[in-house]
Amino acid sequence: PKHERLNLLLIAAYRENGNSQAAETLLTKRAKEIAGRISSGWELFWKIGIKQDEHKLHSRVYSISSNADGMHYIPFRLPSNLLRLRLDPPSYSSLELSDIQFEIDGIVYSLLTNDFHLNQMLHRHNSIVSTGKQDPYFEFDPRSYLQNHETFSGDMALRFRVTLSIGDDRVPLSRVR
User: Among candidates 104, 115, 89, 99, which has minimal Cα distance to 159?
Assistant: 99
Instruction: pLDDT band for 151, please (50, 70, 90 cuts).
Output: low
Radius of gyration, alpha carbons of the chain: 18
Q: Centre a 10 Å sphere on the Cβ of residue 113 and count the other Cβ atoms it contains.
A: 19
**The pLDDT value given to residue 2:** 57
Inform me whether the pLDDT recorded for 21 exceeds 80. yes
**The pLDDT value given to residue 175:** 87
Q: In what order do the strands lie in the sheet with 54-63?
A: 54-63, 40-51, 82-88, 137-140, 117-119
Instruction: pLDDT band for 152, please (50, 70, 90 cuts).
Output: low
The mean predicted confidence, pLDDT, of the chain is 88
Helix axes 4-16, 20-38, angle to 10 degrees: 150
Q: What is the pLDDT of residues 71-108, one digit of tens each?
A: 999 999 887 778 899 999 999 999 999 999 999 888 89
| Whole-prediction pTM | 0.86
**Is 68 or 41 the better-scoring residue by pLDDT?**
41
Mean per-residue pLDDT for 13-29?
Answer: 87
Q: For residue 136, what are the β-bridge partners?
A: none
**The pLDDT value given to residue 1:** 46
Enclosing H/E stretch for 44: strand 40-51
Inform me whether the pLDDT recorded for 132 exceeds 70. yes
Mean per-residue pLDDT for 140-167?
Answer: 81
Highest mean pLDDT of the ranges 59-63, 104-108, 140-144, 172-176: 59-63
Mean per-residue pLDDT for 112-119?
Answer: 92
φ/ψ of residue 122, rounded to 5: -125, 150
**The pLDDT value given to residue 16:** 87
Residues of the chain with pLDDT > 90: what percent? Answer: 45
Q: How far apart are CA 122 and CA 131, in angstroms?
A: 8
